[in-house]
Amino acid sequence: MAKKKTPVNDTNLAGGSFTGVDEVSNFGDRLARYGQARTRALGMLNHLRGNPTSESPKAAAGLAGCGNYLHFREYYTVDKVRLHNAQFCKQHLICPLCAIRRGAKALGAYLARWEVIRTERPELRPYLVTLTVKNGDDLQERQTHLTKSLKRLLQHRRSFNAGLRGHAYTEMCKAQGAVYTLELTNKGNGWHPHCHMIVLAASEPSQSALSVEWASISGDSFIVDVRPITGDPSEGFMEVFKYAVKFSDLSLADNWHAAQLLKGKRLLGSFGLFRGVQIPESLLDEPLDSLPFWDRFYRYMGDEYQFTGESPKSHQYEVEKSKNLKVAK
Ligand SMILES: [Zn+2]
């Protein structure tokens, strides 16, 4: 399957952020996207400095130190480039560079689990299910409405599966496992939280039946979408794991507001066969230990990552590498 190429001037950083990431042939695009992500993070940094709050100094310090250097290793015998070292702020709701890396790690972890599941349960197929609630001006209220409605839908599934008396069948009973994220947009018509879910099922959940159920649960929205994930599963799965990168489509003020409101909230959940998948803590790539490599150092300068012959070791790199140091210079 042909890889989608994201134009480097595309402001939607979520597009094509994860697939084929370590191929040498994709490295230019990848580096350009990381550069755009870093530029957006610096936009947020300036926004925070211009609109200080009690929370902003710490966030700003993190952003200032994130991704100034990227140390890649090119494994030239297999044409792969892996991110070997960098300092990250791990504020993925306001830093699209960290969001891209975290999304890639989550995608990798769930794809690996799917590979195991599909050999054990060949009858199952993945479906992308989207559930929405009506737009509104109060993000907190809309977000709570979405999470409560989702909880009720999943409770219906559990109750029926457990054979509890008086609990009706739901289309979600077809799901043998699922992973989902909560995403939000605001395109000028109010906040629009929604849920993207990968459902593993032996037969396609009915969109119309699910729509009726969802309308009765949510009380304000019948809009759901169900479609099979065909072809390269990483393309379909990506739709779910780019939720944090999508924050960078919001205005800076909206992005900060949403990040403050959702800080500490769980935006990714799973059940059934997808329960218990561990997403690695590190945002770096796994090294290919036994293979020879060239080191490639890049530094963010003038809106993009530029190759630099200098080893960042001569700067504060060694200090930054120390795990105790989260806040930058
Ligand atoms: Zn970051």
Taking only the tens place, the pLDDT of each residue in 31-84 is 999 999 999 999 999 999 999 999 999 999 999 999 999 999 999 999 999 999
Q: Which of 123, 145, 124 is nearest to 134 (CA)?
A: 145
Distance 309 CA to ligand 1 centre (A): 24
pLDDT of residue 318: 43
151, part of any domain: yes
3, part of any domain: no
Distance 129 CA to ligand 1 centre (A): 29
Q: Is the pLDDT assigned to residue 177 strictly greater than 90?
A: yes
Average pLDDT for residues 237-261, to the nearest whole number?
95
Lowest model confidence (mean pLDDT) among 115-124, 181-190, 310-319, 320-329? 320-329
15, part of any domain: no
Report yes or no: 67 and 92 within 8 Å, Cβ to Cβ.
Answer: no
pLDDT of residue 316: 43
For the stretch 180-236, pLDDT in tens is 999 999 998 999 999 999 999 999 999 999 999 999 999 999 999 999 999 989 889
14, part of any domain: no
2, part of any domain: no
- How many structural domains are present in the chain? 1
Beta strands in 153-206 (DSSP E): 177-186, 191-201
Distance 33 CA to ligand 1 centre (A): 14
> What's the burial of 99, exposed, middle or buried (CB within 10 Å: 0-12/13-18/19+)?
buried
pLDDT of residue 322: 46
pLDDT of residue 15: 53
Q: Which of 145, 144, 143, 110 is nearest to 128 (CA)?
A: 110
Distance CA 1, CA 222 (A): 34
Distance CA 269, CA 289 (A): 32
Distance 90 CA to ligand 1 centre (A): 5
6, part of any domain: no
Distance 283 CA to ligand 1 centre (A): 10
Distance 318 CA to ligand 1 centre (A): 18
Q: Domain limits at 145?
A: 24-321
pLDDT above 70 covers what percent of the chain?
88
Lowest model confidence (mean pLDDT) among 11-15, 116-120, 255-259, 289-293? 11-15
pLDDT of residue 289: 86
Helix (H) or strand (E) holding 319: helix 317-321
Q: Is the pLDDT assigned to residue 90 strictly greater than 80?
A: yes
Q: Is the pLDDT assigned to residue 328 strictly greater than 90?
A: no
Q: Which of 105, 52, 137, 53 is nearest to 245 (CA)?
A: 105
* Alpha carbon separation from 25 to 15, 167, 230, 291 (Å, rounded): 17, 53, 24, 19
Which residues does residue 183 pair with via DSSP β-bridges, in sequence order? 194
Report yes or no: 72 and 305 within 8 Å, Cβ to Cβ.
Answer: no
Q: Is the pLDDT assigned to residue 173 strictly greater than 80?
A: yes
Q: Is the pLDDT assigned to residue 129 strictly greater than 70?
A: yes
Q: Would you call 276 helix, strand, or coil by DSSP?
A: coil
Encoded amino acid at 44, one letter: M
Distance 88 CA to ligand 1 centre (A): 5
Mean pLDDT of the chain: 89
Place of tokens 């105790």: 324
Report yes or no: 81 and 73 within 8 Å, Cβ to Cβ.
Answer: yes
Distance 70 CA to ligand 1 centre (A): 12
Encoded amino acid at 14, one letter: A
Distance CA 180, CA 132 (A): 13
Distance 96 CA to ligand 1 centre (A): 7
For the stretch 3-24, pLDDT in tens is 444 443 334 565 555 555 788 9
pLDDT of residue 157: 96
Distance CA 292, CA 91 (A): 33
pLDDT of residue 4: 43
Q: Is the pLDDT assigned to residue 101 strictly greater than 80?
A: yes
- The one-character DSSP state at 73 is E
Structure tokens at 203: 């037969």
For residues 54-77, b (16+ Cβ closer than 10 Å) or e, as one string? Answer: eebeebbbbbbbbbbbbbbbbbee
Distance 301 CA to ligand 1 centre (A): 16
pLDDT of residue 311: 57
Structure tokens at 319: 């200090």
Average pLDDT for residues 157-180, to the nearest whole number?
94
Average pLDDT for residues 237-250, to the nearest whole number?
94
28 alpha carbon, distance to own chain's centre? 21
Average pLDDT for residues 88-112, to the nearest whole number?
95
pLDDT of residue 19: 52
Average pLDDT for residues 24-29, to the nearest whole number?
91
55, part of any domain: yes
10, part of any domain: no
Distance 322 CA to ligand 1 centre (A): 16
Put the strands of the sheet holding 268-272 in their side by side order: 224-228, 125-132, 191-201, 177-186, 268-272
* Alpha carbon separation from 137 to 92, 141, 147, 327 (Å, rounded): 24, 9, 17, 34
